[in-house]
Structure 1
Amino acid sequence: MRKRDRDRAERIRLAGGSKPTLRERAVSLALEKGEVRTKDLTDIGVPRCYLTRMCEEGLLMKAGYGRYRAAVPKAA
């Protein structure tokens, strides 16, 4: 591991962990509100192009034009 990578990992550890990713922020907002609009997600910094990808990955479900819900994980 390079020194700059070790230094970065140490800074993140000391700062209390890493920031949540855009996907994590989008899913947590959708879980919190139930249904979110595209505008709600772009307001927190999630680009619109991510929404299609997140739907394909099963993280979000499209509820209608410009409206998304968090996908409910299937029970095993």
Structure 2
Amino acid sequence: MSSNQPLPVVELSARDLQGHGVVFCPHPKMPLWSAHPKVYIDVATTGEGKCPYCSTVYRLKAGEKVHGH
């Protein structure tokens, strides 16, 4: 990925999160969802997380709240 291109961003609702506020990547909401091994990314703690493989940013939609956080 070129440094001039913006990072891909996937906006999520709280219902899209698994377990304790994580999302897995590759995720069906991203265009190339089968591009690398599956990893789990914590989104609940800060409202955003980035995949270490593809740099896709997973972000909670504005106003979304994760229960228990």
Greater RCO (CA < 8 Å, at least 6 residues apart): 2
Name whichever structure is richer in strand by fraction.
Answer: 2
Q: Which has the larger radius of gyration?
A: 1
Using the size of structure 2 for normalisation, the TM-score is 0.27
Larger helix proportion of the pair? 1
